[in-house]
Structure 1
């Protein structure tokens, strides 16, 4: 939630800058009234010294001024709301942490922790509990390339080993080819499964290594569709990387994805 609030704060600030750039050089308030199904336009101005208001008819021929007045009022209304929301968000961000409830337990020394039964599991507790549920990856088919990772499991491609070893080096806990039953009833085996450090939900990483082969690419499309039909969407709970006969695994992208989805910024 904190990242969402920060994103909104930046977005609202940018909108305010746009409003300032587009400020109309007109004064007063546009007033609309109906007369025999016709719309009439008036300019209402206020004397700053006396507080008296004046209402002046604007001929329809002066539509450019009418539109500028209307646009200015719309911008002013937006500006007022944006300033209100920015103030609220700023106040929340000063005293908000997504993980403050679980951090209460972590704030205690180990001797005191031993006396407690935590009501809210910390992220590390959830991951350890999740890892304790064992699974069996898909067995290799005859002729499959098999290689051992730093974590000790057998994977079926050099790229999968590179990914697994990178996760290991970062201290990221994962499951390799952990079975997942989708809403459609299909059982699939995502290459890697994690517990998100942000949402504490399972998230999945699929590496598609032969994307330029026709049958493989068609199967990739079908698999991605199955994910989406189960409300597992790219950029949310699904991470993907690709390779082809002409392009290798892009490490810069891998590191960026790890930083974005798998490493929590405290």
Structure 2
């Protein structure tokens, strides 16, 4: 569940950007006469009139004044838009201050333990969600190979030093993860991604594949087809699928892994 406060902040950013653009647009029309424009149609011909806002008197706009007419119309539009954006800016700022799910979480968290153990919160706490996610994503499902020989900081057995590096970095940055879960793709293929990880903030499951032999032609072809199968099943790179890779001459760089974790998993 994405925090609505984040969505509001995104909307606030968009409003602020529009407001800045609006301010620049308004500046272009400074110095125009304090007139309004009235229009009428006669015999399918549009006629424009300058209107004095104080007296209400109208004066026909001649053809050679059409450029001025356009500028005044555009200015009046920009003034209206600017006014509306300023109101929206104030309204969303007030809403953001009022709307914070942490206030909902705090009601549950402030309960005595004796009551907290009984209450079912309207919004799952992160701890509850993580626990349920782990139950729904069982690990060590790949039975085609022997168990790994290398132990991670969390005690799992993985098959390579690179997988240990990745798993230990998940642990370091408090990213919940599962090693080799079962995943059935929509095209009917069964795969066992190296990791399933949970972006707790977005409550989003991401699959992580490590390609350890991409300089091997057969290995590379096989995994490119696998990535294609992922894509056809709705798993896309940079969204809910992440790749790390290495070659014989270029081992896994932990900085690259950290960058991907910070960008997609936290």
Q: TM-score, normalised by structure 1?
A: 0.76
Whole-angstrom CA distance in 2 between matches of 1:194 and 1:244:
24
CA-CA distance at 1:222 after TM superposition: 5.0
CA-CA distance at 1:96 after TM superposition: 1.8
Residue 150 of structure 1 pairs with residue 153 of structure 2:
yes
Whole-angstrom CA distance in 1 between matches of 2:166 and 2:71:
57
Whole-angstrom CA distance in 2 between matches of 1:245 and 1:45:
80
Whole-angstrom CA distance in 1 between matches of 2:48 and 2:221:
60
Larger RCO: 1 or 2 (CA < 8 Å, sep 6+): 2
Whole-angstrom CA distance in 2 between matches of 1:219 and 1:31:
70
CA-CA distance at 1:167 after TM superposition: 0.8
- Please, which runs of 5 or more residues in structure 1 have no aligned partner? none
Map Cα deviations across residues 72-121 of structure 1 (whole Å, 9 max, x no partner): 23322322332222122111111222454344322223233234344543
Q: What SS class does the counterpart of residue 42 from structure 1 fall into?
A: strand
- Out of 16, 20, 25, the position equivalent to 1:22 is 25
CA RMSD in angstroms comes to: 3.4
- Out of 34, 40, 49, the position equivalent to 2:47 is 40
How many residues are paired up?
A: 258
Is the 1:102–1:120 contact (alpha carbons within 8 Å) kept by the matching residues of 2? yes
Is the 1:209–1:243 contact (alpha carbons within 8 Å) kept by the matching residues of 2? yes
Q: What SS class does the counterpart of residue 43 from structure 1 fall into?
A: strand
Q: TM-score, normalised by structure 2?
A: 0.76
Alignment of 1:176-215 (within 5 A): 176-208=179-211
- Out of 139, 142, 145, the position equivalent to 1:138 is 142
Whole-angstrom CA distance in 1 between matches of 2:49 and 2:102:
54
**Distance of aligned partners of 1:45 and 1:204 in 2 relative to their CA distance in 1, 3 Å threshold:** farther
Once the two structures are overlaid, the 10-residue window that deviates more, 110-119 or 122-131, is 110-119
Is the 1:137–1:177 contact (alpha carbons within 8 Å) kept by the matching residues of 2? yes
Q: What SS class does the counterpart of residue 22 from structure 1 fall into?
A: helix
- Out of 94, 99, 110, the position equivalent to 1:96 is 99
Map Cα deviations across residues 235-265 of structure 1 (whole Å, 9 max, x no partner): 54344445567766554554344345433xx
- Out of 67, 70, 80, the position equivalent to 1:67 is 70
CA-CA distance at 1:22 after TM superposition: 2.2
